Structure 1
Amino acid sequence: MRTARDLAGDLLAVHERTGQWVGERLEAERKRLRDPRDRGLLTELVHGVVRQRGSLDTVLARVSKRPLKDLNRVVLTGLRLGAYQLLYLDRVPDHAVLDTTVAWASHHTGPRRAGYVNGALRGLLSRIDKRRVEAVRDARKDLPRPDGSAVRFRARTFADPELEWGLNRAQRWSHPRWLVERWEQSLGRERTDAVLAAGLSRPPVVVRARVDRAVLLERLAAEGITAREGEGPDALVVEGSEGHLGAVIAEGLAAVQDATSQVVAPRVQPQAGESVLDLCAAPGGKALHLADLMRRGRLVAADVDETRLKRVTALSRTMGDVELVTTIVPPEGPLPFDERTFDRILVDAPCSNTGVLRRRVEARWRLRPEDITTLAGIQGRLLERAWPLLRPGGRLVYSTCSIEPEENEAIAAAFIAATPGARLADELRTFPSPDADGGYLAVFERR
């Protein structure tokens, strides 16, 4: 019987060898585990190793006798898997981490390479001074952890922040150096540190109450689920995983939706009886929110991805008297709707995801500097394509889960400058916090 650690190693090895997104196989592997604790451990290990790859490699480079780039890919995966447990998880004894990791490596690569894994991980253990200190004190020795504590090493492990501030942060907070230095320039060091800390943290489980929030709190408490009020009038932060919420979601009492995402649909201000377009609608969280606010009317959910759009269709049974129409649209060119058809439009544009990196653990490593420019072009064209569909007096909301000005304020400013009759009524950029993700929205009104 393959354990959660074995499955995590297998998934991570495939990811390292092929570049395949771990999310594509993780859910299937979770179903092979009967115990919910094992499913949780599998997710923690896979997401944690991918998220912390930069920090893990920095530390492992200090104890590996060979450059990491020259190691067998399976050996490197084993080192990362073992190091993650030693540095970031507290409940598993060190000897158990070593035994299970070395056994996994031996199964895949043989005893000689497994011996290398064993030696390097033991070297890592000898380098640790204190497994847990309550706060970061020395930026050259202290490795931050998601709960705000830190691991302290005996010797300097990270770049000198006085000489290479961006590299030091990239190594310790596990983000690409170019992105850290970009934020340092655009946000300043204090804000960048806060964003990096959020990117390291485990994402909160946040739901939107579709009934009175106090009623939902009572229902969750009756089921033994601990929750507290979050940011926004309908947000609840839930302890544990989404798996405990199946009943309240199925009954239409709640929807999993981050607090920042919950801000968007109310800014659209959909009214009963109106015709509303949700462009880029999949997987449907904002479409469902629009329907809840409308109560009745016509909601067109459009997307380029037919498979993902089916998830929106599945939500229609809880949308009450709202008529849901799903439509596949082309990625470029005119949209298949008549001009001035819609009273309200939401353009939830594809973006760099820099406001939600803790949720999309692979995004930070896939993103390149030039991608932001490419995405800004796509975002601008989406606005240009959607605007003719809006009726005079109507409202269009543009939103992203990015914190980059090129994808946000710059898009809004360029659109206003190029579009007669458009007025920027409001805009808001939110940065990641313990209870909410980062993102942006702009509200345009058509005269």
Structure 2
Amino acid sequence: MTSNVRALAAQVLTPLLQNKGSLNTQLPAIERRCPEKDRALLRELCYGTMRHHPQLNCIIKLLQNRAFKFRDIDIKAIVLLGLYQLQHTRIPAHAAISESVEACRDLDKEWAGKVVNAILRRFQREQEELIDSLSDNESYQFNHPEWMIAKLKNNWPDHWQQILKANNEQAPLTLRINALKTDRERYLTQLEPIVDAEKTEFSPTGIRLSTSLNIESLPGYEEGAFSVQDEAAQLSAQLLDLQAGQTVLDACAAPGGKLCHLLESEPALASVDAVELEERRAGRIEENLERLDLDANVIIADASHQEWWDGTLYDRILLDAPCSATGVIRRNPDIKYLRQGEDIHETSKLQLSILENCWSMLKPGGKLLYATCSIFPQENERQIKRFIAQTDNVTEIKIDAPWGIAREHGRQLFPQINRHDGFYYALLEKQSKLTKTATLPPLAAVKG
């Protein structure tokens, strides 16, 4: 078992480069094998390399004589990791190169050490000229895959560069205060001696920290005083307008952040069902509910089908639909590599299937909040437009709010540097017959 951090990082990235898994699924097991003192470096190497993968891959193409064979993708991972260290970290060049060569031995590919050494030393010598030669390469310039850049240009001609820039930055650490345990003012006072923090602008329960740290070390973690949740995701509870005695469905609930926020926002709900397809992810919901001392009925099932449903109609439904997750790339930088343009079409079909199924479970007069962490209209406003066009008993409640931008249907948030993620919301009300569009009262921004 190797303790070489670069070799361990290569073992995390190799499945990703073979289109298997993600950082979220591959890193935890490898992290447990890493000496505790090196775990922060391991995460930095893995996340940093995938954050800059489009640029690093452009450089590799200039440096290598032939593409790496599939069986040697682990060596490509070593080169990517080495280039990331040379270009984006303060690790001394000699250490980055020598440790990368040593990692080849730890991967039982000692022969590859010479290849890795030659590529990295050539980059070290010719870095300026190589980067100059990529000045007209948009994938290098914007650090995104070409298909994504083209799609954003087409979808958001006035915003695409802002989106790409925000995607390349690290996201802030944002907390959601559990209103059943504490309040924002009190918790900010508790944080004062530990870390600089500020209120979020649009969520009345949000606190944004100035730096990332171990959340388990913060006061009240074990007691459930807070959860980690981006500000954009915190808006869902406010939009659903929950009332005591209502029945609620969270249709795609894992990992349970929005579900727990609903329960914190209105503790007198009659019942709450949380549906999740994957047993592993459903376990995350149970863990969050337990830590926060909350209760919901967690159901492992497919939200696009009804085998699990007992026929009782819901007053409120939250549908946080499966999507490309392109609004949270800065938190999951491997999305740049793992997503392909054709994925959007398949995802949109699944979204519509779940939306139609959930709509049949909603009471007349009930509300459904459609949400995604995507910035592509195909998964968002166009999906809602299509659903409204084919559904007779639906009215859209227009969201008048100080965040995001109003669209023909719903409201779109883009990722903001040092602020919220990209997100989309649309609020629908079920009618017994077709009625005109309603308007939601303005949601006042929380200031001060």
Alpha-carbon distance between aligned partners in 2 of 1:360 and 1:100, rounded to the nearest angstrom: 26
Using the TM superposition, give the Cα deviation of residue 175 of structure 1 relative to its aligned residue in structure 2, in angstroms: 1.8
Alpha-carbon distance between aligned partners in 1 of 2:74 and 2:362, rounded to the nearest angstrom: 54
Asked if 1:234 corresponds to 2:205, the answer is yes
Asked which structure has the greater RCO (Cα within 8 Å, sep 6+), the reply is 2
Q: Which residue is equivalent to 1:275?
A: 247
Using the TM superposition, give the Cα deviation of residue 404 of structure 1 relative to its aligned residue in structure 2, in angstroms: 0.9
Q: Which residue is equivalent to 1:300?
A: 273
Any idea what the Cα deviations from partners look like across 1:386-442, whole Å, max 9, x if unmatched? Answer: 112222221110001111111111111122222222111022110111221111010
Alpha-carbon distance between aligned partners in 1 of 2:7 and 2:254, rounded to the nearest angstrom: 33
Query: SS in structure 1 opposite 2:308?
Result: coil
Query: 290, 296, 306: which is aligned to 2:262?
Result: 290
Q: Which residue is equivalent to 2:43?
A: 43
Report % sequence identity: 29
Query: 408, 421, 427: which is aligned to 1:443?
Result: 427
Which stretch of the first structure deviates more once superposed, 395-404 or 190-199? 190-199
Alpha-carbon distance between aligned partners in 1 of 2:13 and 2:131, rounded to the nearest angstrom: 29
Any idea what the Cα deviations from partners look like across 1:172-210, whole Å, max 9, x if unmatched? Answer: 33322111101111111x521111122222222211122
Using the TM superposition, give the Cα deviation of residue 338 of structure 1 relative to its aligned residue in structure 2, in angstroms: 5.0
Alpha-carbon distance between aligned partners in 2 of 1:74 and 1:387, rounded to the nearest angstrom: 46
Q: Which residue is equivalent to 1:216?
A: 187
Relative to its length, the structure with more strand (as a share) is 1
Alpha-carbon distance between aligned partners in 1 of 2:290 and 2:74, rounded to the nearest angstrom: 46
Alpha-carbon distance between aligned partners in 1 of 2:308 and 2:389, rounded to the nearest angstrom: 26
Q: Which residue is equivalent to 1:68?
A: 67
Q: Which residue is equivalent to 1:59?
A: 59
Asked if 1:158 corresponds to 2:138, the answer is no
Q: TM-score, normalised by structure 2?
A: 0.85
Any idea what the Cα deviations from partners look like across 1:254-298, whole Å, max 9, x if unmatched? Answer: 111011111112111111221111111111000000001111221
Any idea what the Cα deviations from partners look like across 1:332-387, whole Å, max 9, x if unmatched? Answer: 43353355621111011101111111222322222222221111111112111111
Q: TM-score, normalised by structure 1?
A: 0.85
Query: SS in structure 1 opposite 2:107?
Result: helix
Using the TM superposition, give the Cα deviation of residue 250 of structure 1 relative to its aligned residue in structure 2, in angstroms: 1.8
Query: SS in structure 1 opposite 2:176?
Result: strand
> Is contact 2:325-2:373 (8 Å) kept?
yes
Asked if 1:203 corresponds to 2:202, the answer is no
Structure 1 pair 242–231 and aligned structure 2 pair: CA distance change class (3 A): farther
Query: 315, 321, 341: which is aligned to 1:349?
Result: 321
Query: SS in structure 2 opposite 1:105?
Result: helix
Using the TM superposition, give the Cα deviation of residue 323 of structure 1 relative to its aligned residue in structure 2, in angstroms: 4.6
Asked if 1:25 corresponds to 2:26, the answer is yes
Alpha-carbon distance between aligned partners in 2 of 1:88 and 1:438, rounded to the nearest angstrom: 25
Structure 1 pair 343–105 and aligned structure 2 pair: CA distance change class (3 A): same
Q: Which residue is equivalent to 1:147?
A: none
Gapped regions of structure 1 (runs ≥ 5):
130-152, 161-167
Query: SS in structure 1 opposite 2:364?
Result: strand
Q: Which residue is equivalent to 2:112?
A: 113
> Is contact 1:402-1:438 (8 Å) kept?
yes
Q: Which residue is equivalent to 1:252?
A: 224
Alpha-carbon distance between aligned partners in 1 of 2:233 and 2:198, rounded to the nearest angstrom: 18
RMSD: 2.4
Query: SS in structure 2 opposite 1:441?
Result: strand
**Number of residue equivalences:** 411
Structure 1 pair 343–318 and aligned structure 2 pair: CA distance change class (3 A): farther
Alpha-carbon distance between aligned partners in 1 of 2:334 and 2:426, rounded to the nearest angstrom: 27
Alpha-carbon distance between aligned partners in 2 of 1:347 and 1:13, rounded to the nearest angstrom: 34
Alpha-carbon distance between aligned partners in 2 of 1:413 and 1:340, rounded to the nearest angstrom: 27
Structure 1 pair 396–76 and aligned structure 2 pair: CA distance change class (3 A): same
> Is contact 1:402-1:439 (8 Å) kept?
yes
Structure 1 pair 244–250 and aligned structure 2 pair: CA distance change class (3 A): closer
Alpha-carbon distance between aligned partners in 1 of 2:255 and 2:95, rounded to the nearest angstrom: 40
Structure 1 pair 186–406 and aligned structure 2 pair: CA distance change class (3 A): same
Using the TM superposition, give the Cα deviation of residue 17 of structure 1 relative to its aligned residue in structure 2, in angstroms: 5.3
Q: Which residue is equivalent to 1:139?
A: none
Structure 1 pair 69–316 and aligned structure 2 pair: CA distance change class (3 A): closer
Query: SS in structure 2 opposite 1:128?
Result: helix
> Is contact 1:62-1:157 (8 Å) kept?
no
Gapped regions of structure 2 (runs ≥ 5):
399-409, 432-448
Using the TM superposition, give the Cα deviation of residue 102 of structure 1 relative to its aligned residue in structure 2, in angstroms: 1.6
Q: How does 1:59-98 map to 2 (within 5 A)?
A: 59-64=59-64, 66-69=65-68, 72-90=72-90, 92-98=91-97
Alpha-carbon distance between aligned partners in 2 of 1:198 and 1:118, rounded to the nearest angstrom: 34
Alpha-carbon distance between aligned partners in 2 of 1:155 and 1:409, rounded to the nearest angstrom: 39
Alpha-carbon distance between aligned partners in 1 of 2:124 and 2:358, rounded to the nearest angstrom: 56
Query: SS in structure 2 opposite 1:248?
Result: coil
> Is contact 2:4-2:106 (8 Å) kept?
no
Query: 417, 421, 424: which is aligned to 2:396?
Result: 424
Query: SS in structure 1 opposite 2:87?
Result: helix
> Is contact 1:340-1:392 (8 Å) kept?
no
Alpha-carbon distance between aligned partners in 2 of 1:330 and 1:172, rounded to the nearest angstrom: 41
Letter of the 1:5 partner, please give it: R
Query: 272, 285, 288: which is aligned to 1:312?
Result: 285
Letter of the 1:280 partner, please give it: C
Query: SS in structure 2 opposite 1:406?
Result: helix
Letter of the 2:82 partner, please give it: G
> Is contact 1:281-1:301 (8 Å) kept?
yes
